Every structure is written in structure tokens, then in C-alpha cells.
Amino acid sequence: MEIKTVLLDSIAISRALKRISHEIIENNKGVDNIVLLGIARGGIPVCDLLAENIYQIENVKVPVGKLDITLYRDDLIEIPAEAKVTGSEINFSIIDKDVILCDDVLFTGRTVRAGIDAIVKLGRPRTVQLAVLIDRGHRELPIRADYVGKNVPTSRDEIVSVNIDGVNNNAVIYNKKQ
């Protein structure tokens, strides 16, 4: 696929996630009650970088977990048979916690809805807040992010891809192949 636009380079991603980290700390009056959950796959590196930033700011390691939403998707029938359920990795209680659900791109809202379903299966958090690197619009459900790195108007035919691997971090829009 052909890259149409680079939305964020590694420096811009770092700045956006640092800003979001400060907003999370401020809005929750510290970090004593927060936990971070990254939606597998794209939300995990976002979650890890937020946790690292929070540690650098507050000198506190907040609990971090991986949330597998595969079984909570509303398109489960359409998922290829070879798709794997990797399982969530959450080694702490979320009951009465302020859960920050992390993802790379917010689009229709269906992934977030599945994430919320998976969270409430684990217990009742005090709040669920959403942190995303890119909000591209086109919501199909009444869901909005509490923390956004960048709002990007896109067409439905475009693909937004985020790569956070520690080397060539970037967020790009691809033209979809016809």
C-alpha cells in the first residue's frame, strides 16, 4: 500500500503520549488508583509508553495489563478461523480502580465496546477512561476518548496504521488498494 500521509513521527508520538500521561495524572489527582490496560495488539505499546511516562513523572509504577478482546467482538463470525485468542494478562484487581483503556486508533468504537465488555467481566471498576493515540472519527457507537494524541479526519476508505516498535515509530495514513 502507498503511504498517503505521515501523521505522527516518533518525536510527535512521544510528545503526544507525554501530554496524555500528564492529563491522566491531573484528571485522576495522581496515580494511586489507576491501572492501565492495553487492548491487544496496538494498544499494548501505547499502554507501555504511558506507564513509562507516568513513572518518569510520578516515580510510581502503575499496574499494566494486556486485554484480549477477541471473544467480545461483535464480528466474531467474520474473523478468520486462524485468528488466535492470546488471552488477557492482568495480574491485579480492577475492582474499584480507575481503568485507563489504551489503544492506538479509535475508529468505529466497536473495539472499545468489546474492551469495556471484557473489563466488566473482570469486575466493576470505579471508572473506565479511554486513551488513544489517533482518533479518526467515523463512530458507529456513542463512544469518545478521554485522552487523544491527535484527531485526524479521514475517509472511511483510508487505513490508519500505527507502528510503535522502538525504532521507526510513526503513524501513517495509507490509501486503500482498490
Q: What is the pLDDT along the chain (178 residues), one digit of tens a residue?
A: 778 888 998 899 999 999 999 999 999 999 999 999 999 989 999 999 999 999 999 999 999 999 999 988 777 666 555 556 678 999 999 999 999 999 999 999 999 999 999 999 999 999 999 999 999 999 999 999 999 999 999 999 888 989 887 666 788 777 664 3
* Residues 118 and 68 sit within 8 Å (Cβ to Cβ): yes
At 37, the amino acid letter reads L
Residue pair 154/136 in contact (Cβ under 8 Å)? The answer is yes
Nearest in space to 54 (alpha carbons), one of 66, 45, 63, 65 = 63
- Residue 13 to residues 19, 49, 76, Cα–Cα distance (Å): 10, 10, 31
Q: Determine contact, residues 62/125, Cβ cutoff 8 Å.
A: no
- Supply 23's cell numbers: 492529563
Do residues 125 and 119 lie in contact, with contact meaning Cβ atoms separated by under 8 Å? yes
Strands (E), the chain: 3-9, 34-39, 64-67, 98-106, 127-135, 147-151, 158-163, 170-175
For the chain, what is the total number of helices (H) and then of strands (E)? 3, 8
Give, for 73, the enclosing helix (H) or strand (E): none
Distance in angstroms between the alpha carbons of the first and the last residue of the chain: 10
Give the single-character DSSP code of 2. Answer: -
pTM over 0.95, yes/no: no
**What pLDDT is recorded for position 178?**
39
